Amino acid sequence: MLLNDARPLRAAILFLLLSAYCLVSCKTLPEIPITTPKPLEVNLNMRLDVYQYRGDEPVDKEAVRTIAEATQRMRNRMEEIQTIKSNRFVGEDHRGLLQLREVPGGTWGDYVKQTVAAENEDRLLLMRNEAKESKRALHDVEQEQWRLRSEKSFPGEYIEVPGDAAGTFKWVQAEGVKLKEDAKPAEVKK
């Protein structure tokens, strides 16, 4: 019977010791100050770059070619473009690009489409570069290119000109390079 009486006594002592330990361990920690004598100073430098992209920008950035390569390709393509323009298949539109007016049949038609697409891609690349370097809107550069290409068109080539209503355009055949009013031929003295 003594053995049975010792177990509850041990349990009671163990309970008292654990209770005392818990009470001692619940003692509060020393107070740690989290304030500073001077307010915190935060230096924040931020740069915000805002870019405006058009929907016709190339998706594949690696496909974008250098300016020098684009210029060389356009030079190499000049004769083909002039032949296509002389056949009245394309015209210079108000964005400074070539626009197909009529697609010839067969493989020649496929060739014309590919040539015009490659020319427009290079023109857009050069115009975007010009807009970026001169810090102007792409639309302004397109209008400038349209004006220059329209002025230098040969007689009979199709060009877009402003239409009757505001914001509209119509196709006409160019009359050729126009001389400026004050530009007179040089006189030859005898």
Whether residue 189 is predicted with pLDDT greater than 70 in this model: the reply is no
Side chain identity, residue 32: I
Residue 144: what pLDDT? Answer: 92
Helix, strand or coil, per DSSP, at residue 157: coil
The pLDDT of residue 63 is above 50: no
Measured between alpha carbons, how far is 85 from 126 in angstroms, rounded to an integer?
21
Q: Check residue 51 and give its pLDDT.
A: 66
Instruction: Output the CA torsion sign for 51, 54, 59, 64.
Output: negative
Percent of the chain past pLDDT 90, that is, above it, reads 25
71-87 pLDDT, tens digit each: 899 999 999 999 999 89
pLDDT above 90 for 120: yes
State the pairing for strand pair 90-92/158-162. parallel
pLDDT value at residue 183: 52
Beta bridge partners of 159: 92, 172
pLDDT > 80? residue 186: no
Q: Find the helix or strand (DSSP H, E) in which 54 lies.
A: none
Lowest mean pLDDT segment, chosen from 7-11, 107-111, 131-135: 7-11
**Whole-angstrom distance, CA of residue 48 vs CA of residue 137:** 19
pTM (predicted TM-score): 0.58
C-alpha torsion 126→96→86→179, nearest 10: -100
Residue 113: per-residue pLDDT: 92
> Hunting for tokens 């055949």 — which residue is that?
173
pLDDT tops 80 at residue 20: no
Looking from the CA of 163 toward its CB, the CA atoms found within 13 Å total: 9
At 15 the pLDDT is 87
Nearest to 153 by CA among 96, 100, 72: 96
pLDDT at position 172? 87
- Using pLDDT thresholds of 50, 70 and 90, give the confidence band for residue 61: low
Q: Identify which of 63, 123, 128, 117 has the alpha carbon closest to the alpha carbon of residue 90.
A: 117
